[in-house]
Amino acid sequence: MPMNKYESYKKNVLEASLWLSEQGYLGSQRGSGGNVSVRINESSMAITPSSVNYRELSATDICVVGFDLSIIEGNGKLKPSVESGMHSIIYQRRPDVNAIAHTHQIYGSVFGLINTPIPALFDEVSFSLGQLVEIIPYALSGSPELVINVEGKLSNNANAYILQNHGILALGKNLDKAILHAELLEKVAHIYYLALSTGKPINTLPESIIELVAALRNSEVKEAKGKL
């Protein structure tokens, strides 16, 4: 039997979702929090369905959705993630992004509650994530307002964002990179949390390095746009 043209995308999304769930990045192992997607082409993506325990999913349950949110392929029973609009706007505005992990990880989410961005603290993390992990203002999950709020922050070309009172977004050129960026964000959020708890001044990276980080991220996005 010939392989369905979307099969590899669906399998990759499922594998990434299961790993994130098992590692505690999606809030609870029995729940259905968070969502994962991968770009298929310039107008569609594969994304997890809404409100289903990840351990109960199969690759056939992963939805293929157009950036206009039309359903291209599914199992006929499950609806695409309510956050499909959020994923869609990221792919449309950021040609360098080919995969997205929206998680409810603990330390990243802490900064969404105290409304505090995470500055550039380590060069190896910042070169991957960007010069600042910004806070995206709160809006109800799955709402058009949240899509607008996300779109408003994408121009900084970062690979990670914190959703106020919600969770985090990790972006990447592929699923492995998106998951790595979720891990790096959790690492730096944990360390920053501990450093803040000491009450002592926080040393951020030198301004020259922060400018270099920004230039690198801008260059990668510009290069991706040039390939369209």
Q: What letter does residue 4 receive in the DSSP assignment? A: P
Give me the mean pLDDT over the 149-164 stretch. 97
Reported as a pLDDT band with limits 50, 70 and 90, residue 30 is: low
The pLDDT of residue 28 is above 80? no
pLDDT of residue 102: 98
What DSSP letter does each residue of 77-110 carry, written as one string? SSPBPTTHHHHHHHHHH-TT--EEEEE--HHHHH
Q: 10 Å Cβ neighbour count for 157?
A: 20
Mean of all residue pLDDT scores within the chain: 94
pLDDT of residue 34: 93
pLDDT of residue 1: 36
* Domain spans of the chain, in order of start: 7-226
Q: Take residue 86 and report the two structure tokens written for it.
A: 């959020």
* CA-wise closest residue to 166 among 145, 183, 190: 145
Ranking 29-43, 45-59, 119-133 by mean pLDDT, the lowest is 29-43
Catalytic residue among 56, 83, 151, 207: 83
Give me the mean pLDDT over the 57-69 stretch. 96
Reported as a pLDDT band with limits 50, 70 and 90, residue 52 is: confident
Residue type, 186: E
71-110 pLDDT per residue, tens: 999 888 899 999 999 999 999 999 999 999 999 999 999 9
Q: Take residue 201 and report the two structure tokens written for it.
A: 């001044």
The pLDDT of residue 3 is above 60? no
The pLDDT of residue 132 is above 60? yes
Share of the chain above pLDDT 70, in %: 96
Q: 10 Å Cβ neighbour count for 219?
A: 11
Q: Take residue 105 and report the two structure tokens written for it.
A: 């990880």
153 CB-contact burial (10 Å; exposed 0-12 / middle 13-18 / buried 19+) = middle
Active site includes 83?
yes
| Radius of gyration over every alpha carbon of the chain, rounded to an integer in angstroms | 17
Q: Is the pTM of this model over 0.85?
A: yes
Architecture of domain 7-226: 3-Layer(aba) Sandwich (3.40)
Q: Take residue 102 and report the two structure tokens written for it.
A: 């929206």
